[in-house]
Each structure stands twice: as C-alpha cells, then as structure tokens.
Structure 1
Amino acid sequence: MAQNTIGTAGIIRDARSRYRTAQREEGGAHGAFEGETRRSGGEPRAEVTVSRAEAPADVAELLAVEGAAVLRARRMFVGEDLVQLVNTWIPVDVAEAAGVESVDTGAGGIISRMAEAGFSQGSEAVEDVDQRPATADQAAALGVEEGELLLTVTHVGRTAEGRAVEVTRHTLGRGWTLRYAVPLD
C-alpha cells in the first residue's frame, strides 16, 4: 500500500481564493490545484484522462444531462505523493464549446476555457464536504484502508443564469486542511 509522505504542515486547500482567475492562472498554472500547490512550495503533477461517460445519478441530476457527459479523471500529486483523486463531469455541449476534451486545457484550466466560451461561472461556486468510505481502488491509490472515511469535496460551478456547467468530486487522501471563510453578519 502506498503511503502519503506529505510534510507535517499537510496540504491546505484554500477555498477563499483558489478559484480566482489570478490564482488559477498564476505563472501559467493549469488550474487551482497547480497554482495553490506551487504557491505553497510544492511540485504539482497531474495524470489526466478524458472520456465520455455516464455520470453518476446525483451528478447527472445537477448537470441536467441524460446520457454521456465529458469526464476528466485526474490523479493529483504533490511531488511523488498522490494526494487526491478528482473526477469532473461537464455537459458535452459545454465541453465541446470550451475545448476541454483535450488533456491540456492551458493556463487557468477548464474554468478559464469555459469563461472564454461564454460559460463563465457566476460569482460563487457551491462546495459540499462530506466523508465517504474509500473504495478498494481509492484505498489502493491513496494508501489508506478500504472503508476508511475520506473527505470528499463536491464542487458545483454554475453560470450567472444558474446552469451547472461543472461538477467536480475531489476525493482527498490524508493530510489535508480545508480553509473557508464565512460572513459573520
């Protein structure tokens, strides 16, 4: 079983700023994870596969799609450590218009390509954080026991008109800190 050897500080996923254009594109970063990891001194790497696949029922409902959606499946590393498994589902018409069916989506990643194609995500994204038991495949990949509860972040990006154009499910390995800010008034 692989073991996560991320330093004692762990990995900070800062939802307060990670999706801002300047943060996603900083230094030519190909998205939020790459920019955030570089800023913290880490070496990000991703293995990406792109296909058309049937979305899980909850994702298909959020995207209002029947049949296939575009699936961007990513294995995200810091150095040699696999730290998260990420599946992003995108409606086919949005993916085609934004050109995000290629592995390399350029600086800023899919959010920037969608904005250029007229599918700019509105002023906020909604993220639900829950715990899910690791499947056998997730456990083997992330170096945890099958059934161990893992943090899962489900990110839903919508246009200003309310259309969901992206559902991304992040399955996090050990060592993560999730940082959020909430209004107090």
Structure 2
Amino acid sequence: MPNNTIGADGAITRDARSRYRQRAEGGAHGAFEAETRRAGGAPRAEVEIVRAAAPADVAEILGSTGDTVVRVRRMYDGDRLVQLADTYIPAFVAEAAPAVEQLNTGEGGIISRMAEAGLAQADVVEDVTQEPATGDQAAALGVAEGEQLLVITHVGRTAEGRVVEVTRHVLGRGWTLRYGVPLD
C-alpha cells in the first residue's frame, strides 16, 4: 500500500491513493492520524465544532444555504502546525450520524460514522488549487499574507450522488501531493 512520508527536512508527501481506505488503521480517528502515525509522526488536532452557514462557494457544492456542522481543525505533527482543515457537514447528515458533532468521533472518524448511518462516501473528488493566504492563515501557518498555499477541496458523495461532506485543507509549506490513476 502507498504510504505518506515525512522527510528529515519535515517535508510531507500525502499519498492519496490509499488515505481514505486506511483511515481507521491502528485505531486512528481519521486519515490524517493514520497517515501521520504511519509516516513516523506524532499527529494531533485541535478541534472546534460549531453550527453555521457555509461560505457561498461551499453552500453551492452542498446544495444548501442552511446551517451546517462545521469542524474547524488545526492539524499538527508534534508541535508543528501542518494544515488547517474546515469540514462542512449538511444538517441531514448530522441528524443521521450525530457523532459528527462530537470532539471524539471514534475509530475511522466522521467518514466511518457517516457510513454506519447509511451515508457512505462512494465518490470523492479533490480539487487542488493555489490560493493566497489570508491574514489568519498566514499567522497560523507562519507564512506571509498573500503567499500562495495549496488548498485541497474534498467533496464526498454517496452512491446516490448526495454531498455529505466538503472539507477545505489549507496546507502549510513543504507538502507534496501524490495521486494515482488506474490505467486498466
């Protein structure tokens, strides 16, 4: 299985070819924890959970302008903040899988809780863009305001095409993203 790596210089290679399948590995509470541990790192996250309207572009993806559960996370390898990740979950998902509003979402994290509630993600699309760091992002990640950062917008859909999650991952310096394409 492909693995993520953390180089001696702190550079992180995020290998997306297996990250969601291995999200509960070793009792992990999600893909970040599993992959960081596997790479020899020390994962931890600071999490805040609120109910709020999603930003307009996320609301458009969700197909809803109503309240969402927002999981605002600062994700660390040891003491080093390596990414900011805001997850927007529609209210209907939170009603079916109330654990998505808990700090401790259990083994496998929110994606596993959604699957247990009959809302398994069957299709995931991740768009990777470069966006200028906002003042808050710059201060958190130790970069200059306006510096171009990699942003992954993850959209998870059920087999029926319902969007159950949109996550924006804002990555600090030193990331490589690796994707694979089946050729059969």
TM-score tier, shorter chain, comes to: over 0.9
Q: How far does residue 14 in structure 1 lie from its aligned partner after superposition?
A: 1.1
Match of 2:135 in 1: 136
Q: Secondary structure at the match of 2:146?
A: coil
Structure 1: how far apart are the matches of 2:120 and 2:18?
17
Q: How far does residue 184 in structure 1 lie from its aligned partner after superposition?
A: 3.8
Match of 1:30 in 2: 29
Q: Secondary structure at the match of 1:169?
A: strand
Match of 2:107 in 1: 107
Match of 1:173 in 2: 172
Q: How far does residue 96 in structure 1 lie from its aligned partner after superposition?
A: 2.5
Structure 2: how far apart are the matches of 1:67 and 1:115?
23
Matched AA of 1:17: S
Structure 2: how far apart are the matches of 1:179 and 1:120?
24
Q: Which runs of 4+ in 1 moved over 4 A?
A: none
Percent sequence identity over matched residues?
71
TM-score where L is the length of structure 2: 0.93
Q: How far does residue 7 in structure 1 lie from its aligned partner after superposition?
A: 3.7
Q: How far does residue 11 in structure 1 lie from its aligned partner after superposition?
A: 1.1
More relative contact order in 1 or in 2 (CA 8 Å, sep 6+)? 1
Structure 1: how far apart are the matches of 2:174 and 2:121?
29
Q: How far does residue 61 in structure 1 lie from its aligned partner after superposition?
A: 1.1
Task: For residues 47-102 of structure 1, give each alpha carbon's deviation from its aligned partner in whole angstroms, at most 9, with x where no partner exists.
Answer: 00101111011111111112211100000000000000000000012012112111
Unaligned runs of 5+ in 1: 1-5
Q: Secondary structure at the match of 1:106?
A: coil
Match of 1:77 in 2: 76
Task: For residues 78-129 of structure 1, give each alpha carbon's deviation from its aligned partner in whole angstroms, at most 9, with x where no partner exists.
Answer: 000000000000001201211211111011000000000010011x300000
Q: How far does residue 9 in structure 1 lie from its aligned partner after superposition?
A: 5.3
How many residues end up aligned between the 2 structures?
A: 177
TM-score where L is the length of structure 1: 0.93
Match of 1:18 in 2: 19
Matched AA of 2:135: A
Q: How does 1:154-173 map to 2 (within 5 A)?
A: 154-173=153-172
Match of 2:63 in 1: 64
Matched AA of 1:160: A
Structure 2: how far apart are the matches of 1:104 and 1:53?
20
Structure 2: how far apart are the matches of 1:45 and 1:95?
24
RMSD value, Cα? 1.2
Unaligned runs of 5+ in 2: 1-6
